[in-house]
Amino acid sequence: MSSITPNPELDVPADPSPSLDSTIGVFALGTFVSLCLYGFCIQQFYRHMRQPAADDWVIRSLAIGVMVLQTIHAIAPMHACYYYLVTNYDNFPSINVGIWSIDIIPTIAAMIVLTAEFFFARRVFLIGPWYKVVAVVAMLCLLTGSGLSIGLTARAYQIKDFATFGEKAKLTSFLSVGFDAIGDCLLAAAMITALRRSRASHSVSSILDVIVLYVVNTGLLSGILHAVTAILSIRYPGKLYWAALGLIVIRVYGITLFSVSAALSLNSRKLMLSRGIRVFNDEAFGRNIISRAHRLATVERWNVPHGREDDTPPVITVKVAAEIEVHGHGDSDLSKDYAHKGISRASP
């Protein structure tokens, strides 16, 4: 009785394909979570657009632009998942080959980051002189990260293999996400500092309010998630863990922008100009009242934290001088003038 000896060369594939779990599998999970958050973005954007168009046109334009980019960013991974899991479900080696819908994701993400973070940079810029430096440095970091993200798209069109692309572009991926994380954290730190110095930080009454105010509304959450994404990109360059988390991070940008603009800045805040102007005659006229009113209105419109001195309505000093016309020099001439005008002069 003869026995058949298995041939090891037939049992082990010559060109092993990548694992589904670490490539398209984790990318699909990130797509599912990001689509759930995309629905929340739509709800927040709907709340914003239902309000009267009395807010700053720049803020409204930013909201519309971010929503359009978020929609494109949601369609691209959906197409990629359909391509790999449906169209090529029986073509296992195609899992390791990139397509255009994955290649354009870094560029679309960079556009969303720049558009959304401009809103927060503008808020920080309006707080005060020292905060202007922080806003400029943060925007430079975000511009650098966006430029590197566009470079990733160009490299992805040249290198189609996921493993090869991950090894050759891991430094670029790390720097692009890392610069975005630095810019986010700088803006968040400036907003938290301003909140702590103003009365806005003491207006909350629960732990949930504190978390929403300091973590979500300041953009700190997106900065933390971007930092984790940068670590994953340098730790697992040949896998798509960082790409999956990146889909979720980009959705957090939209949620933060729409939450702050709709709920705080655009829908419920009242401008300083609507609070009225008080007039006194016992104080000296200070800074230009019109320019101050415009500045306070801008600060309120962009939901910028400010101290107690900015909470008081503008004050205009009006001084009234009474002038008495006297004809003559003597007391008798003054009496005749009163009598001529029909005014009785009271005795001292």
Mean pLDDT check: name the lowest of 23-37, 232-246, 315-329. Answer: 315-329
pLDDT of 59 reads 79
End-to-end CA distance of the chain: 146
State whether residue 254 is helix, strand or coil. helix
Joined together, the tokens standing for residue 191 give 């907003």
Q: Give me the phi and psi of 157, to 5 degrees please.
A: -70, -25
Q: How confident is the model at residue 250 (pLDDT cuts 50, 70, 90)?
A: very high
The answer to whether the CB of 24 falls within 8 A of the CB of 95 is: yes
Query: Going from the N-terminus, what domains does the chain have, and what CATH number goes with each?
Result: 21-268 (1.20.1070), 271-348 (no CATH)
Kindly report the pTM of this predicted structure. Answer: 0.72
Burial state string for 281-320 with b = 16 or more CB within 10 A and e = fewer than 16 = eeeeeeeeeeeebebbeebbbbbbbbeeeeeeebeeeeee
Joined together, the tokens standing for residue 145 give 């990260």
Joined together, the tokens standing for residue 154 give 């160009």
Mean pLDDT check: name the lowest of 217-221, 301-305, 316-320. Answer: 316-320
Question: Any residues with CB less than 8 A from the CB of 20 and at least 6 apart, and which?
Answer: 95
The closest of 155, 112, 111, 118 to 136, measured between CA atoms, is 118
Residue 92 in this model has a pLDDT that exceeds 50: yes
pLDDT of 213 reads 77
> What's 278's DSSP letter?
E
Per the model's pLDDT, the better-predicted residue between 226 and 334 turns out to be 226
The answer to whether the CB of 242 falls within 8 A of the CB of 232 is: yes
The answer to whether the CB of 273 falls within 8 A of the CB of 305 is: no
Burial of 243 (0-12, 13-18, 19+ CB in 10 A): buried
pLDDT of 75 reads 96
Cα distances (Å, whole numbers) of residue 337 to 49, 88, 290, 332? 70, 109, 44, 9
Mean pLDDT check: name the lowest of 191-200, 232-241, 308-317, 329-338. Answer: 308-317
Question: Any residues with CB less than 8 A from the CB of 283 and at least 6 apart, and which?
Answer: 315, 317
Helices (H), the chain: 8-11, 26-49, 57-82, 100-103, 105-125, 129-158, 162-168, 170-197, 207-211, 220-235, 241-258, 289-301, 331-340
Q: At what angle do helices 129-158 and 170-197 cross, to 10 degrees?
A: 160
Q: What is the pLDDT of residues 100-159, one digit of tens each?
A: 999 999 999 999 999 999 988 988 988 888 899 999 999 999 999 999 999 999 988 888
